[in-house]
Structure formats: structure tokens, C-alpha cells
Amino acid sequence: MYNSRKKPMEEIPEEMTAVWSCSNENCNCWMRDNFALDTQPDCPQCQSAMVKGEKKLAVVANTSFNHNKSV
């Protein structure tokens, strides 16, 4: 096993995230399940039905709440 890749300074953790992918194979559109407002969203680009799946995505740190440090 070769392990010659340089280690990046800061590793972004990734995890399997629930996403919706467009069922149209000519369309690469997808969205995170968190951002989908409908239970069965349509593709915003081609209006095709979207299929639920998983993608390995960088974890989005929800830091916006911690910025208000007014104690």
C-alpha cells in the first residue's frame, strides 16, 4: 500500500450526507436533504423528480451561532 500523498494542513472531515439527486441523467443537480423544503423535491433546473441518496460531503460546521459572544 502506497501512502505518498501529502497530508493537508487541515483535514476537512467528511461524512455520508443525505442528498437528493436529479433523476435526469443529463443533469448533475443535487441538493442536501437539509436544504430540501419538500419531502419530494423537484429539480430546480430541469423539474425532474429527485431521488434520495447519499453523498460523501465535507461536514459543514455550524459556527454561525457561536459568533455572538456577548456575555
**Residue 46 makes contact with Zn ion by CB under 5 A:** yes
45 contacts Zn ion (rule: CB under 5 A): yes
- In angstroms, the Cα distances linking 61 to 12, 21, 65, 70 are 10, 23, 10, 21
Q: What number of chain residues touch Zn ion (CB under 5 A)?
A: 8
- The reply to whether 23 sits near Zn ion by the rule CB under 5 A is no
Q: Does 50 bind Zn ion (CB under 5 A)?
A: no
Going from the C-alpha of 28 to that of each of 13, 24, 40, 59, 70, the distances in angstroms are: 24, 8, 17, 21, 43
Minimum Å distance from CB 30 to Zn ion? 9
Residues forming contacts to Zn ion in the complex (CB under 5 A) are: 22, 24, 27, 29, 43, 45-46, 48
